Structure 1
Amino acid sequence: MIERLATGSALLGVPLATIQDGTLRYTYKGVPTYKNPFDLALYQMLLWQQKPRTLIEIGSKWGGSALWFADIMLSFGVDCVIHSIDITPPSISVPGVTFHRGDGRDLAATLPADLIESLPRPMFVIEDADHHCETTLAVLRFFDRWLVAGEYIAVEDGIVDDLYGPEFVAKLMGGPRRAVELFLRDRGQDYEIDTGLCDHFGTNVTWNVNGYLRRVR
């Protein structure tokens, strides 16, 4: 596990920067979405495999990804409840999606126990907030109480280490990748990195570097 956590993306240099430029311009149904082609493919494979009845997204931005997730689940014929949380929720309305105002560092205020207990299972969680290590770690620790064996939490944008370098990542206190490392140091006996997903296109050829986490017990 330690060796794995030291592994970055095999996709480095000019191709990575070029793909990131396209990612930041990507839209779905005209709504900015900020998803790259690798993870769009990986998410749909994982969602088909898991067929979650509840999807919780931390970090809505413009709502494009929630819209995409809703359409994917509809196309799969899965009745999936989607809750998307952001400090500044988007103004769009998406059938099947509830947008909440909330902070990744204080999710209990937005997702109280009675709400989570009422949600249909399986549950799938996506952590895509501000990419600060403390925020990501807070999200991981919050959902650690609720996830059960077989369910996933995807930590987005560990790729920032490879995209922007140490000075930028230092401002994020190590960013998502560091948060995953710290979380697994404490809770690694109950989770595993799904390397089949992370390495599907090559070693960590995903923006979610070592970020597809499966609860195993």
Structure 2
Amino acid sequence: MSDFQLEVQQRVAANGRDPALLEAGLAFLLTSAEHRYSYNFAWLGRPIIQYPQDIVAMQELIWNVRPDLVIEMGIAHGGSLMLSASMLALLDYTDAIESRQMLDPSKPKRRVLAVDIDIRAHNRAAIEAHPLANRIDMIEGSSIAPDVIAQVHEAAQGYRNVLVCLDSNHTHDHVMAELEAYAPLVTPGSYCVAFDTVIEDMPAGSFPDRPWDIGNNPKTAVREFVNKHPEFEIDFSVDHKLLISVAPEGYLKRVR
């Protein structure tokens, strides 16, 4: 580890020991959420509906983990798919340079597989027209339906390094079912990221038109899941680095 990397590690650890700093980060998130802050950003032309901090975190994870396949639950406008696909394209490019082989953009090695219960026609059209579309496969259906789970598992066969993101229905039961279905596909050293765990930290009733709330959300599911599955651990270093995140305690690393 370089001196700079060690300094970063020490600073991040110090962040986690500073209650005032942690509280300030959460205060910003709660206040900015009232103004739909996460809806202001795009990745390569597609709305991503994420906080910039989590966008940077996913960039770091994908670059460091170097997955062959990213599986995403939830599509919306497709911005997160473009983030994953663009990072996978960079990984393919760097592999080609290191191996001194020609890169054929028409035959991408790394891919994104995405599931959504309702892929709106205009979003599907925009995603399919995007320059990165040949890296993306989409499945329409409930992420916890047995046939969809079977399709995803079949599609994941043959990939050596898999990263999973969960960002669809945010109720406890739904996320728990997704974790049980898809976390086993995550390879050791990689991550399963459960977004919107921050619902547990927001004021009760923050989502009056949604079924999730305090006590019924991704964070409650994550906590139950890691208690049952010691092969996964919450990577608190990501939380302490970001300070502002919709996924506190949601970055789950497979350690064995």
| TM-score, normalised by the number of residues in structure 1 | 0.84
**Cα distance in structure 2, aligned partners of 1:13 and 1:195:** 19
Aligned counterparts, 1:1-217, within 5 A: 10=23, 11-14=25-28, 16-18=30-32, 21-77=36-92, 79-89=109-119, 90-91=123-124, 92-93=127-128, 94-106=133-145, 108-112=146-150, 115-116=154-155, 118-163=157-202, 165-168=203-206, 171-172=211-212, 174-187=216-229, 189-202=230-243, 205-217=244-256
Preserved CA contact (<8 Å) 2:69 2:159: yes
Q: Distance in 2 between matches of 1:56 and 1:117?
A: 9
C-alpha separation in 2, matches of 1:100 and 1:116: 11
Q: 1:12 to 1:144 in 2, by over 3 A?
A: closer
Question: What do you get for the CA RMSD once the two structures are aligned?
Answer: 2.5
Task: State the alpha-carbon separation in 2 of the partners of residues 181 and 33 from structure 1.
Answer: 26
Query: Which has the larger helix fraction?
Result: 2
Deviations 1:75-119 (A, max 9, x none): 23363211010011241212200111021222x312427614524
Q: Which runs of 5+ in 2 are unaligned?
A: 1-15, 94-108
Shift of 1:66: 0.3
- The percentage of counterpart residues that share the same residue type is 21
Q: 1:74 to 1:155 in 2, by over 3 A?
A: same
AA aligned opposite 1:159: V
The 8 Å contact of residues 104 and 136 in structure 1, kept in 2 or not, is answered as no
Gaps of 5+ in 1: none
Q: Could you tell me how far apart the structure 2 residues matched to 1:157 and 1:196 are?
A: 17
Aligned residue-pair number = 206
CA distance, structure 2, for counterparts of residue 144 and residue 70 of structure 1: 20
Q: For 1:88 and 1:77, locate their aligned partners in 2 and report how far apart those are by CA, in whole Å.
A: 30
